[in-house]
Amino acid sequence: MNDLVHVLTAFHDATHCDAGVWTQPSTGDGPPSLDAATANAPMPSRFPALSEGEVHVQSPAGTVVIAGVPGPRRAWLALGPCPERDVELQSFMAFLLPVVTQYLQSALEVEHAANELAERYEEINLLYTISEILGRTVALDEATKTILSEVSETVGARRASVLVHDRTTNTLKAVAALGVDLATVPSINVDDPCSVSARVFRTQHPMLAEPDQMICPEEAGYRRGAMLSVPIMWTAPAPRGAEPLGVVNLSDRRSGQPFTAGDQKLIAAIATQIGTAIQNTRLVRASVEQQRLAHEMQLAHDLQMKLLPNNAIVAPHATVAARVVPAESVGGDFYNLFRLGHGKTGVMIGDVSGHGYQAALIMALAMSAAAIHSQATGDPGEMLHALMSTLREELAVTEMFISAFYAAIDPANNELRYSNTGHPHAFLLAEGKDFERLAASDPPIGMDERRPATARRDWRAGADLLVLFTDGVSDARNRAGERLGEERVLDEIRKHRDATPAVILERVFEVLDAHITTTTRRDDLTIVLLRT
């Protein structure tokens, strides 16, 4: 009011008359108080209504003229008394009243603008606070609870709730509540015809439920009278677009004032923030789960590689070169080697149908069971039959099966005995002869109940080569999608037939690598070469 004092002082300097401006307090009906005045302005004895115009009142120091100031605020301008007589107080009033009116009007506008600005600051502050809350926490429940109390504080709501959509039950579940115990807030079916929250979720539009509107029992906990209900939206990348994730409800306003369009806008902005938080939490959860799975797969892969035998365990009776290259982190190919006593060696190659964790578990089971059964019986067909019995349950439940080849080689008796259940690529490269396929006599383990047959071939130590590989090798594709083919593998081995198994293995993998180059491997690659 300093400026107004300057105006009145200037008036006093010019006229030597005192002047004062009085205003009614904005709240209540108390007596008018002095806003600004010159040194000796007296308190008027009465304050006339605006319609009365100017009123002359007498004070001990002389006449005072007082008039109401037009405008939204009740105010009065009092002029006088003046030391000189015959002063035209009316003409002074006619001059000064518009000035004071204009001044008070401007002051009121400034005050409104300041209040408005303060509110905006409060809202901006709220948005910053929410960003901070969301930035430092991934625990959604905790974040929504904090956000809800901040928002309620700003808009002056004593009751509030945040409901989030649960896709599995198609209900809205309360994750935060104010003015009511969260545990007692029931879930609301999305199709509920009565619930305001359910309707806002379905229509994806905010809604102001009037105080006289019926309150559904599910919402009674966090609603008193009018309730502002705003959908929590999240905008997914095209073509999915915006989708509703939940609802924010605010009710029971401290001021008793209705919610405004400004409140609705503010809550919509905050709901978007909560939506992003919900989505982030879901993504973080999914990513943690994926990391856990990847970790488990890595463990399974390590386990699988550890289970593969050390090729030296059959030395010096047999020289073996072997390699398994899994397609994914965990594959279904495996091989195993056994010392059978009296200089005999057992060798097995297998392919569990399918990939991944389950295939790796079946493979581990097959590896360990085969180790036991190979010691228990000298007959390869009986060994695979025993393996079949061990794995029957597991294979039936998982609908998997195992193609397997098992041979027991007895160099002292020049004999190789084998059994083949569905394994396509097993060959004997005997000295002076070409490859002979040691064909399957029975379907893969898990497909049939019959006892697999055992066959016999002559075996010459130091000369004959046993060649086993899985279909991942012959089916390996190049960039044009062409298979490598069984014949290319056999050709390469034929070329180097007099080399050691280790050298032959290197040559075959060179051919394989040249064929595959950077193409993604679709299947495991396993090759086992054995000479005694």
Partner 1 sequence: MSFSIKKEGEVVVVDVEGQLIVGNRQELKQKVLDELERGEKKFLIDFSQTGYIDSSGLGVLVSLSKKIREQGGELRLANLNDDLKTLFELTKLDTLFQIADTRERALQSF
Q: How far is CA 212 from the centre of its chain?
A: 40
Contact call for residues 275 and 175 (beta carbons, < 8 A): no
CA angle 462, 466, 470 (to 5 degrees): 155
Query: Of 381, 411, 444, 501, which one interacts with partner 1 (CB under 8 A)?
Result: 444
Residue 112 or residue 483: which is nearer to partner 1 going by CB? 483
Residue 243 or residue 328: which is nearer to partner 1 going by CB? 328
Query: Of 441, 477, 488, 506, which one interacts with partner 1 (CB under 8 A)?
Result: 441
CA dihedral sign, ordered 439, 441, 447, 451: negative
The two three-digit tokens of residue 6, written as one number: 């300057």
**Minimum distance, C-beta of residue 236 to partner 1, in the bound complex (Å):** 25
**Minimum distance, C-beta of residue 214 to partner 1, in the bound complex (Å):** 47
Residue 150 or residue 448: which is nearer to partner 1 going by CB? 448
Work out whether 326 is an interface residue with partner 1 (CB under 8 A). no
Total number of residues binding partner 1 (CB under 8 A)? Answer: 20
Residue 309 or residue 332: which is nearer to partner 1 going by CB? 332
**Minimum distance, C-beta of residue 331 to partner 1, in the bound complex (Å):** 12
> What residues contact 321, with CB distance under 8 A and at least 6 apart?
311, 500, 501, 502, 504, 505, 528, 529
**Minimum distance, C-beta of residue 332 to partner 1, in the bound complex (Å):** 8
Work out whether 448 is an interface residue with partner 1 (CB under 8 A). yes
Distance CA 187, CA 191 (A): 12
Residue 54's H or E segment, with its range, is none
Q: How many CB atoms neighbour CB 209 within 10 A?
A: 23
Residues 467 to 506 in contact with partner 1, rule: CB under 8 A:
none
Q: How many CB atoms neighbour CB 470 within 10 A?
A: 27
Residue 329 or residue 532: which is nearer to partner 1 going by CB? 329
The DSSP code for 448 is B
Residues 185 to 224 in contact with partner 1, rule: CB under 8 A:
none
Work out whether 333 is an interface residue with partner 1 (CB under 8 A). no
Span of 118-126, 195-203, 350-358, 405-413 interacting with partner 1 by CB under 8 A? 350-358
Could you tell me how many residues make up the chain? Answer: 532
**Minimum distance, C-beta of residue 453 to partner 1, in the bound complex (Å):** 10
Nearest partner of 419 among 432, 438, 391, 393, judged by Cα = 438
**Minimum distance, C-beta of residue 443 to partner 1, in the bound complex (Å):** 5
Residue 55 or residue 440: which is nearer to partner 1 going by CB? 440
**Minimum distance, C-beta of residue 488 to partner 1, in the bound complex (Å):** 16
Span of 36-44, 61-69, 238-246, 393-401 interacting with partner 1 by CB under 8 A? 393-401
**Minimum distance, C-beta of residue 401 to partner 1, in the bound complex (Å):** 6
> Burial code of 63-76, b = ≥16 C-beta within 10 A, e = fewer?
ebbbbbbeeeebbb
% helix, strand, coil for the chain, step of 5: 40, 25, 30
Span of 6-14, 42-50, 230-238, 442-450 interacting with partner 1 by CB under 8 A? 442-450
Query: Of 351, 410, 464, 524, which one interacts with partner 1 (CB under 8 A)?
Result: 351
Q: How many CB atoms neighbour CB 199 within 10 A?
A: 17
Distance CA 495, CA 73 (A): 108
Residues 394 to 433 in contact with partner 1, rule: CB under 8 A:
399-401, 403, 421-425
Residue 309 or residue 452: which is nearer to partner 1 going by CB? 452
Span of 46-54, 132-140, 231-239, 348-356 interacting with partner 1 by CB under 8 A? 348-356
3-state secondary structure at position 264: helix
Residue 411's H or E segment, with its range, is none
Residue 12 or residue 385: which is nearer to partner 1 going by CB? 385
Q: Is 469 exposed, middle or buried (0-12, 13-18, 19+ CB in 10 A)?
A: buried
The DSSP code for 122 is H
Span of 39-47, 342-350, 384-392, 439-447 interacting with partner 1 by CB under 8 A? 439-447
**In sequence order, what are the beta bridge partners of 20?**
37, 78
Starting at the earlier edge strand, list the strands of the sheet with 344-352: 333-341, 344-352, 402-410, 415-421, 455-458
Residue 232 or residue 440: which is nearer to partner 1 going by CB? 440
**Minimum distance, C-beta of residue 258 to partner 1, in the bound complex (Å):** 57
Distance CA 438, CA 353 (A): 21
**Minimum distance, C-beta of residue 419 to partner 1, in the bound complex (Å):** 12
Query: Of 353, 390, 526, 532, which one interacts with partner 1 (CB under 8 A)?
Result: 353
**Cα dist. 497→59, 274, 414, 501, 508 in Å?**
133, 69, 20, 9, 12
**Minimum distance, C-beta of residue 364 to partner 1, in the bound complex (Å):** 18
Contact call for residues 249 and 160 (beta carbons, < 8 A): yes
CA dihedral sign, ordered 395, 398, 403, 409: negative
Work out whether 354 is an interface residue with partner 1 (CB under 8 A). yes
Work out whether 84 is an interface residue with partner 1 (CB under 8 A). no
Residue 145 or residue 425: which is nearer to partner 1 going by CB? 425
Contact residues toward partner 1 (CB under 8 A) are 351, 353-354, 399-401, 403, 421-425, 439-444, 447-448
